Structure 1
Amino acid sequence: MYVILTYDIKLDETGPRVLRRVFKLCKKYLTHIQNSVFEGELSESQIMQLNSELKKYIRDDKDSVIIFKSRHERWLEKDFWGKCDNKLSNIF
């Protein structure tokens, strides 16, 4: 399954630590493409594992994670506006 994951971590007193941990965890499973955005192919069991690991750090009252799922990358049309970094070159 093709996945795009994005997160928003509130930067209060413990926010930077949560942000570092969430970033490292997402990078373990997916490709970092822009600030708090990741993408890649994951199986349903990998998505469940990622969710389980993220729950250890995400604060339900302050932070959010959104996962967009598609059967395959080819079913998702992408348009890039502005600067296109090298880290995006693997998706063209």
Structure 2
Amino acid sequence: MALNIKPLSDRVLIEPAAAETKTASGIFIPDTAKEKPQKGTVVAVGNGSKDHDMTVKVGDTVLYGKYAGTELKLEGTDYLIMREDDILAII
């Protein structure tokens, strides 16, 4: 899939993982009670800045803070755009 978006500076575009729809014991979780995912896949990466080289690359699975990033919808898919500093770990 080719997205027509290029993050600037040290920003990263992430496609969040799907929220859990069922608990381990088999109980279905309604939409109003679902937790916001904190894991996703990097879709696009900026060039970095003069003081900051980018660590993550396209295709990395990352963990980020619960309230990190700005939500946006492109071509019918939900994404998050955030600074690389908001990413906690690469899985």
**Higher strand proportion:** 2
Structure with the larger RCO, 1 or 2 (CA within 8 Å, 6+ apart): 1
Normalised TM-score (structure 1):
0.33
**Higher helix proportion:** 1
